[in-house]
Amino acid sequence: MTDLASLLEADALAAADRIIDDFGHHRRDEYFSGFAPEATFLFHNVARRLESRAAYEDLWRGWEAEGFRVLECTSSNRRLQMVGSVAVFTHDVDTTSELAGAVETARERETIVLALAKGAWLCVHEHLSTRE
């Protein structure tokens, strides 16, 4: 692997890790800054595809209005695949969250697709499914 390829891979992985860390600490604004405005989202617990970061932000604000808060997020079984200026990050994720006073842990599988644009890696698609 060339030095440039190694740097690109390290930067893509760092971008994915920032998204996961910001999510796990419920840093909403920082979390959403890791997504391109045109990013799309497929979540097993949402009946439709979300067509933009703004649509996901609206949904998130609605969850927060119901008492939603992420308490912890653990990433394991991680893999990063580089395809030119696209990185596909897959992992298992265990998320502990609170909603309306009830705490639960979800065991899920996630794909984060990142694209390099203007020197920055941003998520352009996220897919979340159950792991049980």
Tens of pLDDT, residue by residue over 36-67, are 999 999 999 999 999 999 999 999 999 999 99
pLDDT bin (cut points 50, 70, 90) of residue 132 is confident
- Residues 37-65 as b/e (b if ≥16 CB within 10 A, e otherwise) read eebbbebeeeeeebeebebbbeeeeeeee
d(CA 118, CA 76): 29
Q: Residue 10: what pLDDT?
A: 93
What Å distances lie between residue 53 and 50, 73, 75, 95, CA to CA? Answer: 8, 20, 22, 21
Tens of pLDDT, residue by residue over 5-41, are 788 899 999 999 999 999 999 999 999 999 999 999 9
Mean residue pLDDT across the chain: 95
CB 76 within 8 A of CB 49: no
pTM of the model: 0.94
d(CA 36, CA 26): 19
Q: Residue 1: what pLDDT?
A: 56
